[in-house]
Structures are given as structure tokens and as C-alpha cells.
């Protein structure tokens, strides 16, 4: 299959792993993959065990579902349970736990909750149901924000009176800064997010090498993309360079998508502060509906609790999101917390580190190593690339 098989070739993987091992030598390297999509690829294909032991990959805060704090979920629940509201959302938000359950449970109690594939689907529901208030639960980084922006523009053009957006879009640069300034973690560099970069380009990441002295390589999502990006990071180290490089050139451009950025600037504005699960409040790290589109802002139209809610004490999603611990080191991982009964958001989304570890057999350190060596019985379709 063109553009897939080429990036999963075992011979090419073996060659890259050998070159990575040679470049790494005896030094220790710790790279953070910012994007949850990268985490999924790494765990599914056992890439972390193809690499030499002195090259470690750790998960970052790049899963948009995982970083939503419980207080915002409670706000969504309050909207969903409003008798006049049809509440719409992407499917993976249906199971994210708040302090009073999740949206599936709200639906079971009688709330009109519907999952959609696009915010434009939610707008159509509003047009078809003029007697109801339709709210779209907007989540995601700059990757999904343009689709919400298009929907806001279209709602204004159609003068739809019963449609609003509960905006929880977040931006990628502030959490990277927060990670770099965290005393908990010492990183050598970053695998930059591929999907976000199709919109924002590579320029916004220049502060990473220029201010913090860490290299970054924007990476694609196939196994060879990940290995090639690690190779590029190590090559920078050996060459004495520190810069932003783009491995994902077949999709990502330096300038990003100017049309999408222009549309986002028209329809959104930065929030002064926003809470992130595991990272706390980060200044100017999220978007709200622009004042020129305030008639479509659910936070303007509806009253919501707006209360900060602490995560369950047993859940260590915050530490997982910051790369401080591996999922198997969480006290409830794989026991009380599973994809069927998630306690934290990292076990809900397919891009969450805990869900990826669980689904692909990395239930604890010993099992992870066994799977990486070709033994064991992973729960998912793990594809070993090299031996």
C-alpha cells in the first residue's frame, strides 16, 4: 500500500536502529514525544524496545482529551443535562470522567447527548431542530480548531440562533514551555507534533532550541517516521547543532496553513489562563470564542459551575502527561483503571498513554520488556519491525 508500507519496512527499520545505536554511543538521551498519536505508534509497534537502552522516549501532554481537567467536564455535564439543550461532542469525549460521571451516563439519565464527526454536523442538528439549543463541545489543539472556526463562520452566515460552542481548544506552545520549566523532568529534546504542525508550521517551536537549548524534530506518525526523527535528534547532538528540523516534510510546511491560521485569528482569541490536567493553570494556553462571535459562545449564553475539581487521589494522569512516570507505575493502572472503567483521561482516549500501554500489552515493566523482545501476548495488533 503506497505511503504506508514504505514507512513500515523491517529492513529499513533495522538499518535505522543500528545507526541510532551507533550515534547514541554510551551517552544517555531522553526525548519527549509531544503528540499522543506518536505515543500510539511507539507502543503499537514496540519502538521503545527497538531503541538502545540509553535512548528513552517519554510521553508528553499532546493528547487533547487527556489534558481536559475535571472541572471543564463538569461544566459540559451541566450543559448536557439542561432540558433545552442537545449536547454534541466527538466520540472520545463521551467517556471522559467528571466528578459526577461522564456524558454516556448523562445520556442514560435522559440527557440528549449525541456524538458527531464534525462541528458542521452539530450545526446541521441546530438547523434541523430550531426549538432546541444545540451546543458543540469543542476540544483539541490547533489541529481541530480550524474546523470549529469554519463552523462559527458558517453559523454567522446562516444567522443560526440556537447554536453555540463550548470552546476548550488549547494551543501547543505554552505546555511545551511549561514542560521545559518543570523541575520534575530533564529532557534531551523533543519529537515535535506532526498534526498540529500542519496548521501552525515549524516556526513557533524556534524558542525550544534558542531559549532552552533543546533540539526538536517535527515527526510523522509511521514507525519509520519515529525512528528517523530520533536519528535526526541524535545526529544534531553528534554534529553539535541545536535547531528545529522537519522530518514530516511530506505534510508539514515551515509556514503551516496560512488560511487556517487567518480563520482561527478571526473566530478565536486567547484566554488569559486555562487549567491543564497535570500542568495546572497556564497563561494564554487556550482559545475562547472571539468577541465578534460571542452570540455563539456557550459560556456567554449559559450558566455553568465553573468550579475547579481535583483529580481522584488514586489517579496519576498528571505525572504520566508530564512524562514523570510510565503508566505501569500508576497505582491503579490495569486494575481499578482500565479502558472499560477509566479513572483518568489517559485511559479514555486511544491517544492516551495509559490506554496505549494497556491495549498493546505493556501492563507492567516486565511484560513490556517481554513484548519488546518478541514474547508475551499483547492485547492489540503490535507489529514488531525488527529483531
Protein fold of 1-313: Rossmann fold (3.40.50)
The pLDDT value recorded for residue 357 is 80
Sequence ranges of the domains in the chain: 1-313, 317-372
The pLDDT value recorded for residue 362 is 56
Nearest to 60 by CA among 41, 31, 34: 34
Mean pLDDT, the chain, whole residue set: 88
The pLDDT value recorded for residue 112 is 98
For 112-125, what is each residue's pLDDT tens digit? 999 999 999 999 99
How far apart, in Å, are the Cα atoms of 338 and each of 37, 347, 369?
19, 6, 20
Lowest mean pLDDT among 52-56, 74-78, 180-184: 180-184
Provide the 3-class DSSP secondary structure of residue 50.
helix
Residue 379 has pLDDT above 70, yes or no: no
Average pLDDT in the 342-352 region?
75
The pLDDT value recorded for residue 71 is 93
Q: pTM for the complete prediction? A: 0.86
Residue 111 has pLDDT above 80, yes or no: yes
Task: State the pLDDT confidence band at 350, using cuts at 50, 70 and 90.
Answer: low
Residue 370 has pLDDT above 70, yes or no: no
Residue 380 has pLDDT above 70, yes or no: no
Task: State the pLDDT confidence band at 363, using cuts at 50, 70 and 90.
Answer: low
The pLDDT value recorded for residue 7 is 84
Task: State the pLDDT confidence band at 320, using cuts at 50, 70 and 90.
Answer: confident
Task: State the pLDDT confidence band at 59, using cuts at 50, 70 and 90.
Answer: confident
How far apart, in Å, are the Cα atoms of 112 and each of 80, 174, 261?
7, 35, 33
**Residue 132 Ramachandran class (φ > 0 left, ψ -120 to 50 alpha, else beta):** beta
Amino acid at each position: 500500500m503506497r505511503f504506508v508500507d514504505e514507512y513500515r519496512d523491517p529492513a529499513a527499520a533495522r538499518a535505522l536502529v543500528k545507526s541510532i545505536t551507533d550515534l547514541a554511543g554510551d551517552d544517555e538521551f531522553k526525548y519527549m514525544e509531544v503528540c499522543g498519536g506518536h505515543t500510539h505508534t511507539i507502543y503499537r509497534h514496540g519502538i521503545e524496545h527497538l531503541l538502545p537502552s540509553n535512548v528513552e522516549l517519554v510521553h508528553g501532554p499532546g493528547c487533547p482529551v487527556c489534558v481536559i481537567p475535571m472541572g471543564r467536564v463538569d461544566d459540559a455535564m451541566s450543559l448536557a443535562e439542561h432540558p433545552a439543550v442537545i449536547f454534541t461532542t466527538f466520540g472520545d469525549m463521551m467517556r471522559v470522567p467528571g466528578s459526577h460521571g461522564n456524558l454516556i451516563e448523562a445520556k442514560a439519565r435522559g440527557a440528549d447527548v449525541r456524538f458527531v464527526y464534525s462541528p458542521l454536523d452539530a450545526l446541521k442538528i441546530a438547523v434541523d431542530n430550531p426549538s432546541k439549543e444545540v451546543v458543540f463541545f469543542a476540544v483539541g489543539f490547533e489541529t481541530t480548531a480550524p474546523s470549529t472556526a469554519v463552523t462559527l463562520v458558517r453559523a454567522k452566515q446562516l444567522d443560526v440562533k440556537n447554536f453555540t460552542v463550548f470552546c476548550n481548544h488549547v494551543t501547543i506552545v505554552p505546555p511545551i514551555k511549561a514542560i521545559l520549566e518543570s523541575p520534575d523532568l530533564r529532557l534531551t529534546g523533543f519529537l515535535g507534533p506532526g498534526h498540529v504542525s500542519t496548521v501552525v508550521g515549524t516556526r513557533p517551536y524556534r524558542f525550544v532550541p534558542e531559549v532552552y537549548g533543546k533540539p526538536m524534530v517535527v515527526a510523522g506518525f509511521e514507525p519509520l517516521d519515529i525512528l528517523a526523527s530520533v536519528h535526526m535528534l541524535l545526529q544534531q547532538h553528534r554534529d553539535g547543532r541545536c535547531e528545529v528540523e522537519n522530518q514530516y516534510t511530506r505534510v508539514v510546511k515551515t509556514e503551516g496553513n496560512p488560511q487556517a491560521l487567518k480563520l482561527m485569528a478571526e473566530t478565536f482569541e486567547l484566554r488569559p489562563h486555562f487549567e491543564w490536567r497535570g500542568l495546572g493553570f497556564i497563561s494564554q494556553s487556550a482559545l475562547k470564542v472571539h468577541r465578534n462571535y460571542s452570540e455563539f459562545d456557550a459560556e456567554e449564553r449559559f450558566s455553568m459551575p465553573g468550579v475547579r475539581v481535583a483529580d481522584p487521589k488514586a489517579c496519576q494522569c498528571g505525572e504520566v502527561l508530564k512524562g514523570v512516570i510510565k503508566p505501569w507505575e500508576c497505582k491503579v493502572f490495569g486494575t481499578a483503571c482500565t479502558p472499560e472503567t477509566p479513572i483518568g483521561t489517559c485511559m479514555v482516549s486511544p491517544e492516551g498513554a495509559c490506554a496505549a500501554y494497556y491495549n498493546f500489552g505493556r501492563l507492567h515493566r516486565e511484560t513490556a520488556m517481554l513484548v519488546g523482545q518478541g514474547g508475551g501476548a499483547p492485547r492489540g495488533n503490535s507489529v514488531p519491525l525488527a529483531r
